[in-house]
Amino acid sequence: MSVDPSPYLILDRRFRYMVQPNAKLDRVATGFRWAEGPVWFSDHQVLLFSDIPNQRMMRLTMDGELSVFRAPSNFANGNTRDRQGRLISCQHGTRSVTRTEIDGTITTLADSYQGKRLNSPNDVVVRSDGSIWFTDPSYGILGHYEGFKSPQDQAKRNVYRLDPASGTLTSVVDDFVQPNGLAFSPDESLLYVADSGSSHDPDVPSVIRAFRVGPDLSLGGGEVHATIDNGLPDGFRVDTDGNVWTSAGDGVHCFAPDGMLIGKIFVPEAVANVAFGGPKRNRLFITATTSVYGIFVDAQGAV
């Protein structure tokens, strides 16, 4: 069902060529409490995503056919796939990052750092070398709605890199208020990380920062790449041209590789995350509070 005859705000001509004026925003599925963690499975042409408070993960086809993929989900949040196609998930309930093996068994990849439990892994991305990078804010232990209310054992809310072969977990950034979504630039020379700390402290800037990835996988820089002018950045994705498509309070904001806000797609609910899908990876799936929306764009998700 189309929900808005004109969902676009075009702020720069670059964005004009990335959207189709006659492509409408469709509400593909609804009935969730907080939809998050969308991940596209091109081999099955389905979208998996989390419905965090409802303790379930859902499976959605291109035709809008909806089913439960996993319940209970241990309050799963962000999802991605590794280089072998296996599902990698952040779970608030177990305060861990897990991998779903091909036979369906679930392997815990990380649940502690320096002998203390992680806070509540939120979002995750896998680099082409197989390393797994995830954020560890405190949202999943702040209350009972999206996990189990618990004290924070870690001194900080870090961004981590995990070597799945050795199990070595390394803190790569430790100065975020609440690190949240993260994604690499197409050539993987940059790692973008969102700070959503304004959720609980209005003085925290709603920004996405850019870090340079060194040859030894250490991070440098960390300058502000994009500033969100409505709500806060949660999850986001990067397209093949390096544009950042991020969640925000009023919809999806698109930032060019130079950090300029070039356009918006207005969505009638607060957006938590996005993922490119479809046979051409040009359909942007948007998890937004109670619903999942879809819209065809002239951009393709970076693989």
Residues that bind Mg ion (CB under 5 A): 122-123, 180, 234-235
**Residue among 170, 153, 157, 77 nearest 117 (CA):** 153
Asked whether the CA dihedral 268, 186, 49, 52 is positive or negative, the reply is negative
First to last CA, the chain: 28
Closest CB 196 distance from Mg ion, rounded Å: 7
Task: Please check whether residue 272 is in contact with residue 35, taking contact to mean a CB–CB distance below 8 angstroms.
Answer: yes
Q: How many residues does the chain have?
A: 303
Closest CB 36 distance from Mg ion, rounded Å: 6
Q: Which is nearer to Mg ion, 154 or 196 (CB)?
A: 196
Question: By three-state DSSP, how is residue 52 classified?
Answer: helix
Q: For residue 102, give every residue at least 6 positions away whose Cβ sits within 8 Å of its Cβ, in sequence order, or none.
A: 86
The phi-psi region of residue 241 (left if phi > 0; otherwise alpha if psi is between -120 and 50; otherwise beta) is alpha
Please give the Cα distance from 140 to 89 (Å, whole number). 14
Closest CB 257 distance from Mg ion, rounded Å: 22
Structure tokens at 243: 């544009």
Question: By three-state DSSP, how is residue 140 classified?
Answer: helix
| Angle at 118 (CA atoms; ends 56, 33), nearest 5 degrees | 25
Q: Which is nearer to Mg ion, 154 or 282 (CB)?
A: 154
Furthest-apart CA atoms within the chain: distance in Å: 54
Please give the Cα distance from 61 to 295 (Å, whole number). 14
**CA distances in angstroms from 295 to 33, 133, 280, 281, listed in the order given:** 21, 28, 13, 11
Q: Which is nearer to Mg ion, 92 or 281 (CB)?
A: 92
Closest CB 24 distance from Mg ion, rounded Å: 26
The amino acid at residue 110 is: A
SS3 content of the chain, % helix, strand, coil (to 5): 5, 50, 50
